Structure 1
Amino acid sequence: MPVDPSVIGTELQPTDLTIDSGRLRFFAKAIGETDPVFTDVEAAKSAGHPNLPVPPTFLFSIELERPDPFDWVSSLGIDLRRVLHGEQRFVYHCLAYAGDAVTANPRIVDVYSKKGGALEFVVKRTAVVRADGRLLADLESVLVVRNPEEQS
């Protein structure tokens, strides 16, 4: 079933998160980050940071904090069993640190197909802002939906 392009512009449920230093340490370990700046507060402060900085790609995980982080996909009529992760991009405007309260504000910005509809793409852009409204980062993710009933 094709994704209706009329969903372009749809604002999705925002997600609030206060960034926890324990989560940052766990995330740094999970991605294999060995720089102590991301795991040791004293090393971070010695490097000029006020607290542990957020490791690259961590902000993508904010939306995964929701009870059902993929409900927006299901609401579009997409079968999650047919979804592939296509791409993600990050544009950072400033650093985030442990203790920062942030909000992720996602919206669907594009829907298109390739291979005669056998592959559909849903592009979601998320603005991550601090509690004071300052823009931290713009995130973009692309989901690929396989439609095997369509001819390629």
Structure 2
Amino acid sequence: MAIDAEAAGKLALDPITVEVERGRLRFFAKATGQTDPVYTDVDAAGRADHRDLPVPPTFFFSLELEAPDPFAYLAALGVDLRRVLHGEQAFTYHRPAYAGDKLTLRPRIVDVYSKKGGALDFLVKRTDVHRGTELIAEAQSVLVVRNPEVPQ
């Protein structure tokens, strides 16, 4: 089934508010192969003029998984998770975020398009990350959904 672009554009996605914890930052830095000690050592972060451990690159993507059902929007659009592939992700950083920050993520679907005669649908989601009223970053992800009704 093709994704209904109009329904996707109107779909309201709930904001997610999380407090960034040092332990989680250290774990994420280690899991993603960060070797710079500013991501794991508070003293090293301070020497590099950070007020605490900074958020490592791509960390914001993992915060979206804090929602009670992070893929509910796909179910609402009739997307079968077995047909979903990660297409790409991109980040635009405006300000650093740190351990102890309370961040609010505001996701929304910004585009839906098809390729290969409708065999593949692309769902583009953008998430603005705020600390209070301050825009910290924009995260964009693209999911590829195979449409089983169109022959490959």
Output the CA distance in 2 between the equivalents of 1:52 and 1:11: 33
TM-score by length of 1: 0.96
Give the counterpart letter for 1:27 in structure 2.
F
Output the CA distance in 1 between the equivalents of 2:10 and 2:135: 19
Q: Which residue of 1 aligns with 2:96?
A: 95
Give the counterpart letter for 2:35 in structure 1.
T
Q: Which residue of 2 aligns with 1:48?
A: 49
Structure 1's consecutive aligned runs of 4 or more residues displaced over 3 angstroms after TM superposition are none
- Corresponding position: 1:123 with 2:124: yes
TM-score by length of 2: 0.96
Q: Which residue of 1 aligns with 2:2?
A: 2
Superposition RMSD on alpha carbons, in Å?
A: 1.0
Gaps of 5+ in 2: none
SS at match of 2:128: strand
Alpha carbons 1:115, 1:151 under 8 Å: kept:
no
Output the CA distance in 1 between the equivalents of 2:95 and 2:62: 18
Output the CA distance in 1 between the equivalents of 2:10 and 2:56: 29
Cα-to-partner distance string for 1:11-52 (whole Å, 9 max, x where unaligned): 311111000000000000000111110000000001110000
Output the CA distance in 2 between the equivalents of 1:70 and 1:10: 13
Alpha carbons 1:9, 1:109 under 8 Å: kept:
no
Q: Which residue of 2 aligns with 1:39?
A: 40
Output the CA distance in 2 between the equivalents of 1:40 and 1:9: 43
Output the CA distance in 2 between the equivalents of 1:108 and 1:66: 16
* Percent of aligned pairs sharing the same letter: 62
- Corresponding position: 1:82 with 2:83: yes
Q: Which residue of 1 aligns with 2:31?
A: 30
| Corresponding pairs, count | 151
SS at match of 1:135: strand
Alpha carbons 1:17, 1:101 under 8 Å: kept:
yes
Gaps of 5+ in 1: none
